[in-house]
């Protein structure tokens, strides 16, 4: 399968939220194409075809606008307030030989050593920023956690990256940690946090209180 997704785009003569909403109602996805010191273009693409390509890991597009074909990188995706539907895309013109900086999802691999000793793995970030050639952008970056023990932290600088890929994120960025599951509450804590039982008044005590109340009346 070709790494590039081929799509046709239409130039949007009018822009704005109302026009963008109208385009989406027609099954079109609004986008802008920019970069390489060329004019920024407002375009729209078939929303279904774009979503399918994105689902299959495509990051590069061979975008045909009119009679011109450009290679563009999916640079930014904007979703609706529910985080479900795409509403806008930023596309950056690129040359296949140039270096670009992109965020790539990380994929945890293996079973952490700490999980055998009562620990759990907590993931703190879900992607890394890297620099590489446009044609070398990976779909994801594998991160092995098998040597992570209880009390350990795995940092970005410890991840082995494929050849030709440079880490842009801070090497000190914490990706995952392993810690013990919260210990059960002590008996003393349980007693302190237990709800107070309602006061139970016996017959004799009830009578005494009634007599006391009558005497004060």
Question: Is there a single domain that holds both residue 146 and residue 169?
Answer: yes
Is 203 part of a structural domain of the chain? no
Tell me how many domains the chain contains. Answer: 2
Q: What residue numbers bound the domain in which 112 lies? A: 102-180
- Which region holds residue 36: left if phi is over 0, alpha if psi is between -120 and 50, else beta? left
Question: Is there a single domain that holds both residue 36 and residue 69?
Answer: yes
Is 107 part of a structural domain of the chain? yes
- In order along its 217 residues, the chain shows pLDDT tens digits of 346 789 999 998 888 888 888 889 999 999 999 998 899 999 999 999 999 998 888 889 999 998 999 999 999 999 988 888 899 999 999 988 889 999 999 999 999 999 999 999 999 999 999 999 988 998 899 999 999 999 999 999 999 999 999 999 999 999 999 999 864 444 455 556 555 555 555 555 555 555 555 555 4
Is 21 part of a structural domain of the chain? yes
Q: What is the pLDDT of residue 209?
A: 58
Is 208 part of a structural domain of the chain? no
Q: What is the pLDDT of residue 44?
A: 94
- Stated pTM of the model: 0.68
The answer to whether the beta carbons of residues 47 and 24 sit under 8 Å apart is yes
Separation between Cα atoms, residue 66 and residue 80, nearest integer Å: 29
Question: Is there a single domain that holds both residue 118 and residue 169?
Answer: yes
User: Which of 59, 94, 129 is at the close of a domain?
Assistant: 94
The answer to whether the beta carbons of residues 161 and 129 sit under 8 Å apart is no
Q: What is the pLDDT of residue 203?
A: 56
Question: Is there a single domain that holds both residue 107 and residue 81?
Answer: no
CATH code for position 69: 2.40.240.10
The answer to whether the beta carbons of residues 119 and 178 sit under 8 Å apart is yes
CATH code for position 149: 2.170.120.20
Q: What is the pLDDT of residue 185?
A: 45
Question: Is there a single domain that holds both residue 81 and residue 110?
Answer: no
The answer to whether the beta carbons of residues 114 and 148 sit under 8 Å apart is yes
**Tokens matching residue 82:** 């529910």
Question: Is there a single domain that holds both residue 111 and residue 169?
Answer: yes
């Amino acid at each position: 399968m070709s790494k590039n997704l081929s799509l046709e785009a239409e130039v949007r003569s009018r822009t704005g939220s109302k026009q963008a909403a109208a385009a989406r109602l027609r099954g079109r996805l609004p986008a802008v194409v920019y970069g390489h010191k060329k004019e920024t273009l407002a375009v729209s693409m078939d929303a279904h075809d774009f979503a399918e390509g994105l689902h299959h890991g495509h990051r590069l597009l061979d975008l045909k606008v009119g009679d011109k074909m450009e290679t563009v990188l999916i640079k930014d995706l904007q979703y609706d307030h529910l985080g479900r539907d795409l509403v806008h895309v930023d596309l950056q013109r690129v040359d296949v030989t140039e270096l670009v900086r992109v965020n790539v999802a990380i994929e945890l691999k293996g079973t952490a050593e700490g999980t055998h000793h009562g620990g759990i793995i907590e993931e703190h970030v879900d992607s890394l920023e890297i620099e590489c050639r446009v044609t070398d952008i990976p779909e994801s970056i594998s991160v092995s956690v098998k040597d992570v023990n209880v009390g350990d932290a795995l940092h970005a600088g410890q991840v082995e990256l494929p050849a030709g890929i440079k880490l842009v994120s801070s090497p000190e960025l914490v990706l995952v940690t392993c810690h013990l599951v919260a210990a059960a509450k002590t008996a003393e804590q349980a007693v302190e946090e237990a709800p107070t039982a309602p006061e139970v008044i016996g017959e004799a005590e009830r009578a005494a209180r009634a007599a006391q109340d009558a005497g004060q009346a």
